[in-house]
Structure formats: structure tokens, C-alpha cells
Amino acid sequence: METISGSRSGPGRGRCCRPGAGFGGASWSNGRPHYRRTRQASRAVSYLEDVLRVLWKLVAGAILSLTITVGSAQALTTQRVGNFQQPIYVTSAPANPDRLFVVEREGTIVVVENGEVRPFADIRSAVSCCTSERGLQSIALAPDFATSGRLFLFYTGEKEPGEIHVAEMVTSGATAPTGSLRDVIAPIPHSENANHNGGQLQFGPDGALYASTGDGGGGNDELHNSQDPTSQLGKILRIVPSPTGLTDAAVWSLGLRNPFRFSFDRQTGDLWIGDVGQDKREEVDLAAAPGIGQNANFGWNCFEGSLPGPATDSECASPPASGYVLPVFEYDNPADGCAAIIGGYVARDAGLGDTYGRYLYGDNCVGDVRSFSPAAPFATDRYEGIHVNGLDSFGEDSCGRLYAVSATGPLYRLLGPGTTTCSGEAEKTVTLAPSHVGVRAATRKVKRNRRALISAWVSPCNGRRGGQVTLWRGRRNLGTRRIDQVCSARFRPRIGRRSSFRVTVKADQTFAGAISRRLTIRPVRHHRR
């Protein structure tokens, strides 16, 4: 306030060359003071003082608001779970979040339960490790693990060095014997380079097993795999494991460079991918439910993030009709440094305070744990107050609690200002109130290539206003609208052929997500007169 006051009173008088030239003194005419002008000037001074006083209050309020906004993020803390041999991933038993499975890169898996650490599996004889990025990368326990004892593993093989294996083991008692290891899909050749293997396994909301593969390594997608729909490299693969024998791995998404880590939002089912960049951008890709990325092309090597890429893949000359799926978030890869994004999870642990509902991620080279709100990634990106040397992965247990894995040995659980109580399957997610989304059309027959009027409504209404609903034509997202004051939203899609529509509303901290019934609209021909 002193600075503003000084700037108001100083320059006017300090720079004048005769008395009274400022707002506060009398003006001079023919050597005599003109007091009428002085009274006008006084009123002007009073007016300006009032204006400046109001402006100062507004500025001070804005500064205070900004301070409160920045300071409202309560920094997370960590609790060390244990120290391990080159840990690279962690998950838990689906029905017991307190039983953690820690994956060690050389080919071993250990169990942590009630403070006790014990061996669970050892497949080092089958794993090629640890040249460049090779090794045992991750595991996924079957949803019925408690009864079936089945778990799935992603690793680079020893017999044909570098080839990618998605395999299965079955427990016997408290361990999984090496003799139970068998391939679920045919091994994927990956011998030319030791980097860009991908490495994530996750069960999706549809019950299928999903796997991520890198582009085959080297630079610029030199083997031209990412855009090749016949190659299984540079992809997200969808697998429905067979109890016996091999099964096919369907290409689900393409155009990825090295999607080392991806995850599904445990509440909404959305697919989040952290794709490691080359020398321009590190990126986070989003494939929303219910489509979760089927047939999505994330652009590499035609694009690197949202920037033009090397574009040496022949398919770049004919982009997909639906366009490339560009990242929802990205950051620069420093020219003189290192960057390698580690994709994380949307936080669904209520104990994490205002981090709940935000997407957590990190960088292997930097080690800082950061997060952003999915609704506004760039505007809300922030540091969470945690640094993990050699950050290699995040993990999530069946209660939604999050973990950070350091390649140097430690495994940490992320803690917030609140507490999280888990008691097995019954409390593995936050209990949400049920919700409903309905859909209807003004008419189910529309003249060809004209627009239909589709209305959606959400119930319960209280607490939902301002939220978002999304219209889908098959697996294609046609757009999102805000829920208005009467908890409805309207869409105007063009009807060129018979089309089926559904509307979805995402879960929030109070209500569960929902999907509408299917609505079919038919085009009718124009009648010529």
C-alpha cells in the first residue's frame, strides 16, 4: 500500500516545473491562483484515491486468493514399506490390499504382508536382464486370484534374448513354482534393440488383460513398428487368456513409442498412458471409457506429443480418418538433460486429501512426484512434495492406496492428511452413491444429414450441476456438455446413417459413474416435390 500511495503522490509534483502543476495545488492563470480549478482538482484527487483504494483491495484479494489456492495443496508424505533388489513394480492381492507383491527386475517376486517379506516366485532362469531396459517388468493378478491362484507376468526372455513374453503362473500353497510358468501368447520378437520394451500388465474394466509394448527400440521408430497395424510393437494389446494353450493378442491401440506404464482409473475405467518421448515431449494419453482406446492411434512417430515427429513410418502419409489422439498433458524434454515419464494413477485414496481425483505421475530422471486434475491438466499441474530417487513405477493396491517404487531399492506408500481404512474386498474402493443417466431424442427419425436433438438427464440432481456428460456413437466420443441447472444437457449430432447413441457420466467423490441405455436414430430421405 505504501508503494501505491507513493506512486500516486510523487510523480505529479516531483516532475512539475512550477508550483501547483500537480493535482493537489492551485492552477495558475496570468500569475494568479484559480481556486475554482483547485476545488475541481481536489474532487479529482478524492475520486482517484477512492478508485485506487478499490483497485488495491482487488489486487490484495487476488494475491491472497492465489496464496490460498497454492497453499491449499497439502503436501504428501511417504512411509517406507521396505527395501528390495531392483524393485520395478508393486501390486496387491485383489481381495487383500494388505498383501503386497513386489516385482524385482532380475526375475523374482516377493510378498510383503503384516511387516513380513517372503519369496513368492523366481523365474530368473527365464528372464533376460538387465541390459538396457530388459528384465521382468510387471505382473497382474487375476481378479479371481484368491480361488484360481493365477497371475500373469511381462518379461523379456532369455532363450531368444529380448523377445517379449506375457506368461502365466499358478500358485501352489504360498508360492508360485517355476514349473507352472507358461506363455499365454506367442512371444513377440524384440532382438534388435534392448530398449523400448513397454512393460505394463493391467486387467481392464471389461475383465480382459491389457499389455503395453514399445516400438522395438533405437531411435525414430527405426524398425517402423508403431504405425504398422500388423506389428505387435508400439501398441496396447488386449488379451483374453485361455486356461490352456496360447491365445491371440489383439492390437487395441497403436502409435506408441514406449508406454512403460499405464493404468485404469478404478472408478471411471478410463485408460491413462505415460508414453516416454524421444527428444521433444514426454506425454500423458487418455482413452476414456467405455471405448478405452480401441483403434486409437496416439501418433508416434508421425507426432511426438503434439509436435510433428520424424514421420518416417510410411503410414504417416495417410493419417487415420478419425485423426490422431493427441496427449492431454505433455512437457518438454530438455535438450541438455534427461526425461522419461513414469505414468501413474488417478488417486482414489480418500486419505490423500485434495490429491483425490488427480492423476499422479513422475519422471525417472527427475524423481519428483507431480499431479494434475484431469479436468484441466496444464492449469493444475503441481509438485506433491515428494522426491523419489530413481523413480521407476507407481503401484496401486486393491484399496486404492498408492505406492512409489525406487530402482535403488526402497518402496514407499504415499500418505496424505487423512486416514484410509481397508478391510479386504469390502472396502477396496470408496463407497459412492448410485446415479442414473437417461437419454431421449425429440424424434427417432431425422432427415438424412440433418441434426438430431438428443437430451440427457442425470439423477440425483443435487450436487451434479456443472458436471459433465459425454455422448457416444458406438465407441466414438462425440463431445461433452455441462450439466445445467435442471441436471440436463443437449446434443445435436448429424445423422447420416442409422446410429446408436449412449450417454455416460463420470464418477465423482460422491456419486458413481453411469451409462445410459442405447438410443437408435434413423435417417429418412428427403422427399422431392
Q: What is the pLDDT of residues 436-475, one digit of tens each?
A: 778 899 899 999 999 999 999 888 888 888 888 889 786 5
Model confidence, pTM:
0.69
- What mean pLDDT value characterizes the chain? 84
pLDDT digits (tens, 9 = 90+) for 269-300: 999 999 999 999 999 999 999 999 999 999 99
pLDDT value at position 72?
39
CA distance 267 to 378: 22
If you average pLDDT over residues 168-194, what whole number do you get? Answer: 94
Least confident of 234-248, 276-290, 439-453, 497-511: 497-511
CB 492: neighbour CB atoms within 10 A?
12
Residue 2 above 90 pLDDT? no
Q: What are phi and psi of 51, to 5 degrees?
A: -60, -45
Residue with more model confidence, 53 or 521:
521
CA distance 357 to 361: 13
Contact between 349 and 420 (Cβ < 8 Å): yes
pLDDT value at position 306?
96
Q: What cell was used for 162?
A: 529380448
Least confident of 75-79, 254-258, 418-422: 418-422
Contact between 121 and 175 (Cβ < 8 Å): yes
CA distance 362 to 488: 38
CATH number of 84-415: 2.120.10.30
Percentage of the residues of the chain whose pLDDT score is greater than 70: 82
Contact between 254 and 229 (Cβ < 8 Å): yes
Residues 6+ apart with CB under 8 A from 63: none
For residue 432, what are the CA distances in angstroms to 151, 355, 357, 416?
29, 18, 14, 20
State the pairing for strand pair 519-524/445-447: parallel
Residue 66 above 50 pLDDT? no
Q: In the chain, which segments carry CATH 2.60.40.2470?
A: 436-524
How is domain 436-524 classified at the architecture level of CATH?
Answer: Sandwich (2.60)
Sheet holding 341-342, edge to edge: 341-342, 359-363, 368-372, 382-387
Residue 67 above 90 pLDDT? no
pLDDT digits (tens, 9 = 90+) for 9-32: 333 333 333 333 333 333 333 333
Residues 6+ apart with CB under 8 A from 204: 210, 238, 264, 269, 271, 292
Q: In the chain, which segments carry CATH 2.120.10.30?
A: 84-415
317-351 burial by CB neighbour count: b if 16+ within 10 A, else e?
eeebeeebbebbbbbebeeeeebbbbbbbbbbbbb
pLDDT value at position 161?
83
Q: What cell was used for 323?
A: 485423426
Residue with more model confidence, 66 or 352:
352
Q: What angle do CA 292, 296, 300 make, to 5 degrees?
A: 125
Percentage of the residues of the chain whose pLDDT score is greater than 90: 64
